[in-house]
Amino acid sequence: MDSSEQSSLKEALAPFWAIMQADLKSLFKSKMTYGWLTAAIFLQVIRVLGALPLKVTSIVITNGLSDFIYIWSMLIIGIAASAVASETGALADSIMSKSVKRYEYILAKFSSRITYTLVTYLAITTVLTGTSLKIVKNDYEICGLIASILFVALTLVMLTSVGVALSTAISNTVIAIVILLVSWYSMTFFFPILDLKFLSPSNLMNQLPNIIQGVWNGEEWKTAISFAAISLASTALSTLYFSKKDL
């Protein structure tokens, strides 16, 4: 790729990067982020210290990761479902002035919200894992431990993707948040009853202790593929819808 092609590529990506960076900067500088990190890290340290001397690594780490499914998911839902709906007026002005293309805007929003979720998740999980491995009795298998962290990360990517997708279709942020909350906790608690366990985050959490110990049953891969497919479908369909939507 010669210099002219590189320059053209940078110019084409400039609006996308500008929107993504501005959104990330706003999110990471918010008081919510500092509060979330402080509360979550404190909770993880207390959990590890409180686990001595009876519990093992697989149980402690599973309990810590479950916070993202049952507790911190509410914050992620609020962040994701407000990605577009809260900026409708400013967005319409930008698009009408042709300063940004619709697909650039929505893909930047997907990228920034997913990046924010993953960075925060990995920061908290690093503290959880590091303290657990040093203090609690170890019963983990390294590949299983890494896989368990990645499985939960994929679950959060799916949740964030669906949230941003809802935000493109529903102009009212509160309604988008409520719909996603009901959908998420229905998946978590009711899907196992309906014989849809592979789509239930709670079913994945039940399998994590075994995965961390390196014991696999194959169902976790079905769940991972399903969550990845939902993430990709949400991104593709909402980008297509948003490109044709009246603002």
Separation CA 55–CA 74 (nearest Å): 28
The pair phi, psi for residue 56, each rounded to 5°, is -115, 170
pTM of the shown model: 0.90
Given 3-state DSSP classes, what are the helix, strand and coil percentages for the chain, each rounded to the nearest 5? 80, 0, 20
Question: pLDDT value at position 95?
Answer: 52
Contacts of 59 (CB under 8 A, 6+ apart): 51, 209
- For residue 172 the two structure tokens come to 């009212």
Contacts of 49 (CB under 8 A, 6+ apart): 135
pLDDT in tens, 101-150: 888 889 999 999 999 999 999 999 999 999 999 888 889 999 999 999 99
CA 55 to centroid of chain Cα atoms: 28
- For residue 29 the two structure tokens come to 């500088």
Question: pLDDT value at position 12?
Answer: 67
Question: pLDDT value at position 5?
Answer: 59
Separation CA 137–CA 207 (nearest Å): 20
Partners of residue 56 on adjacent β-strands:
137
Of 46, 20, 30, which is closest to residue 114 (Cα–Cα)? 20
Length of the chain: 247
Question: pLDDT value at position 6?
Answer: 64
Question: pLDDT value at position 92?
Answer: 47
Residue numbers in the chain where pLDDT is lower than 50: 92, 96
Question: pLDDT value at position 115?
Answer: 97
Sign of CA dihedral 126, 127, 133, 134: positive
